[in-house]
Amino acid sequence: MKQLSTQDGASLAATDVTDTIQYQGRKASRAGSERRRQAILEAALRLIVRDGVRAVRHRAVAAEAQVPLSATTYYFKDINDLISDSFTLFVEHCAANQSQLWGNNAEMLQARVSSFDGSPAKMRAFADEVAQIAVAFVRTQLVDRRDHLLAEQAFRHEALLNPRLHDLVRAQQQILLHGATRFFTLIGSKHPLEDATLLTTVVERMEYQGLIEGVDALDIEAMLAILKRYMYLVLGV
C-alpha cells in the first residue's frame, strides 16, 4: 500500500487543465472585464442545460447574463468560440470539483488502508465502504449537481459534432481519472489506470440512468451489488 498526497492530486488536475486547454474568445484585460466574461460563459452554460446548445445565441446569452448585447459580441464574435469557451469553463469547474472531492476523502482512505491486516474480512469491509461512498456520491450528484451532469451530457454530445471540442473531452476524461487512478494506486492495484477507467465508467452510467429515470427510481441495492462485486474483484477477495 502507498501514501496518497492530497496536494499532489489537486495540483496534477489543475496542471492538466492549464496545459491542455485554451480559451478561444477575446481575453479580458482587467478584473472587472474578466468577471463579465465569466458571467457570460456561466450564462451560456445555464442556457445549454435548460434549452440545449442550439439555444446559445448572442442575444439570448446577453439576456441571461444581464449584460449588453455588445458585451457578448466583444468577447465572442464567433458563436462557436462562445460555445467552446463555455465548455472550457465547465472543464475547469470539473477539475476544481474533482480536486476537492479526492482531497476531502484522501485522509479517510489513507487511514482505512493503513488499518489493513491482510485479512479477507478487512478487505471486504473496505470494499463495502467504497461501494457505499460511490452510491452516495451518485445520489449527491443527481440531487445537488444535476445541472453539472446535464452540462456534461450536452458537452459530450456536442463533441460528437464539433471536432474543436475533442481536446476538451480528452482533458475532462484525464481529470476524472486523476483521483480514481491515485486511489487504486493507494490500495495496491496492479492496474490502477484500468481499474480507475472501469470504476469511472460504472459511476457515469449510474449518473446517466439517474438523469433519465430520476434519483428516486434508482435501484440502490443493485448499484451497491455492482460496485461491491467490482471492488471484490479488484481486491481479490
Residue 82 within a domain: no
Q: Determine the pLDDT at residue 115.
A: 74
Q: What is the CATH number of the domain that holds 37?
A: 1.10.10.60
Placement of cell 448572442 in the chain: 58
Q: Are residues 58 and 129 in the same domain?
A: no
Residue 1 within a domain: no
Continuous H helices in 52-165: 58-65, 69-75, 79-114, 120-144, 146-161
Q: Determine the pLDDT at residue 120.
A: 86
Q: Are residues 220 and 184 in the same domain?
A: yes
Q: Are residues 109 and 67 in the same domain?
A: no
Q: Are residues 10 and 33 in the same domain?
A: no
Q: Are residues 110 and 148 in the same domain?
A: yes
Q: Are residues 149 and 183 in the same domain?
A: yes
Q: What is the pLDDT of residues 6-63, one digit of tens each?
A: 445 544 554 555 566 777 776 766 666 888 899 999 999 999 999 999 999 999 999 9
Q: Are residues 37 and 119 in the same domain?
A: no
- Looking at residues 186-215, what average pLDDT do you find? 94
Q: How many domains is the chain partitioned into structurally?
A: 2
Q: Are residues 11 and 39 in the same domain?
A: no
Residue 85 within a domain: no
> Looking at the whole model, is its pTM more than 0.85?
no
Amino acid code (one letter) for 148:
H
Q: Are residues 140 and 229 in the same domain?
A: yes
Q: What are the grid coordinates assigned to 182, written together?
A: 491515485
Q: Are residues 46 and 15 in the same domain?
A: no
Q: What are the grid coordinates assigned to 89, written together?
A: 469553463
Residue of 140, 160, 164, 146 whose CA lies nearest to 88: 164
Q: Are residues 139 and 220 in the same domain?
A: yes
Q: What is the pLDDT of residues 213-234, one digit of tens each?
A: 999 999 999 999 999 999 999 9
Residue 84 within a domain: no
Q: What is the pLDDT of residues 51-89, one digit of tens each?
A: 999 999 999 999 999 999 999 999 998 899 999 999 999
Mean pLDDT score of the chain:
86
Q: Are residues 67 and 97 in the same domain?
A: no
Q: Which domain holds residue 196?
A: 6-22+90-235
